A = this chain, B = another copy of it.
Amino acid sequence: MASHLNLYPLNHFKMRHGGELNGAIIAFETWGELNDNKDNAILILTGLSTDSHAATHDHSHDSHETAGWWEYMLGPGKAIDTDKWFVICASSLGSCKGSTGPCSPNPSTKKPYKFTFPDLTLEDIANSSWEVVQSLGIEKLACVIGPSMGGMSSLALVLQHPNATHHMVNIAAGCHSEPFSTAIRSLQREAILKDVNFNDGNYSSEQWPTQGMKQARKMGMLSYRSAEEWKEKFPRNLRQRPHKPFGIEFPVESYLEHHAEKFVHQFDPVSYIYLSRAMDWFDACDYATHECGNPFYDINLDSALVVGARTDLLFPKSQQQELAELLTIAGCETQLEITDSIQGHDAFLVDQENYSRIIGEYLQKL
């Protein structure tokens, strides 16, 4: 598996809010072959908690490779067809999944950065991934694809580098986070920051802010899925007497607890709050130079596909409608698809049929 992971060294990398990274690393994986013209490259920018391992590389019968987070979407003959496209996916700068982030050692002190890590923005994530792309000799991407945080990072890419890509697939995102989503994220950060074991970032594996991370993940699940889905999943709010008063007694509580337990040690708490804040900071309107307030006038996209789900609470469909409208007005040929998926924000990870079809058909036409 390690053979599929590439490490790109990042030096003299200027961060948007100030500061510079040296001796940093961006971990990335690729699928398919870059053609001679170097014009068949697709960059996937990820969501907050996922990494570069979007799909398996080895499709031999006896492969023991772990499935990727977008396994159904990416591979030979799939919607993002690796027989046709050369696909790059990097772990986000600032995350704890191989690329440098707050829990990585600062090369100049040998100690983890923690809160000395510079302010992180989605622009920094976009720029560091763009460096990786350029290092492969690619001057212009065929397409950038970004779901959730990756959708906003895609906007950060095209707004800073108007000629970076011919096409864009923007999924479950928007021009900025709305106050309701910021409120949810703020509560997640607060749960982590106020955990007694957080200790200003100086936690250890023995003293881990487990409770704060669990609460943050549970709040995340509330915002990632939908009331409609859970009504189907847990048809009646059946209860069983808990072992102790106010213990777990409803099926939805066990479900949340299970997901929280799985997550709690899989993500670094300081990384989490850095990435979370970056999502709340991003605003495409910061790039509006024209009087009309439309930030997309100067970008050079040949076309865009904007996808949302009717039941998304975190980035409601009105945000994809707004994004599609702004892109269209700015002269980009834009296709808007709002799916009827009941899985909320996570629909792109779960509703294989709809998302494979929509993205597959769009990429086939390019």
Contact = CB atoms under 8 A, between A and B. Distances in A.
Interface in A238-255: 239, 245-246, 250-253
Nearest to A196: B196
A294 B269 CA distance: 48
Contacts of A237: 176-179, 182, 280, 283
A209 to B, nearest CB: 12
A211 B191 CA distance: 9
- Is chain A's interface secondary structure helix, strand, loop, or mixed overall? helix
Number of copies: 2
Contacts of A190: 215, 218
A183 B246 contact: no
Contacts of A221: 183
B230 A180 contact: yes
Given A178-B237, A183-B256, 16 more contacts: A177-B237, A178-B227, A179-B250, A179-B251, A180-B227, A180-B230, A181-B227, A182-B250, A183-B218, A183-B222, A183-B230, A186-B250, A186-B253, A190-B218, A194-B211, A227-B313
Contacts of A230: 178-180, 183
A256 B219 contact: no
Nearest to A247: B193
Nearest to A248: B186
Interface residues of A, number: 48
A115 interface: yes
A330 interface: no
19 contacts: A176-B237, A178-B230, A178-B237, A179-B230, A179-B231, A180-B222, A180-B226, A182-B250, A183-B221, A183-B256, A187-B222, A189-B246, A190-B218, A191-B215, A194-B211, A194-B215, A215-B215, A227-B316, A237-B280
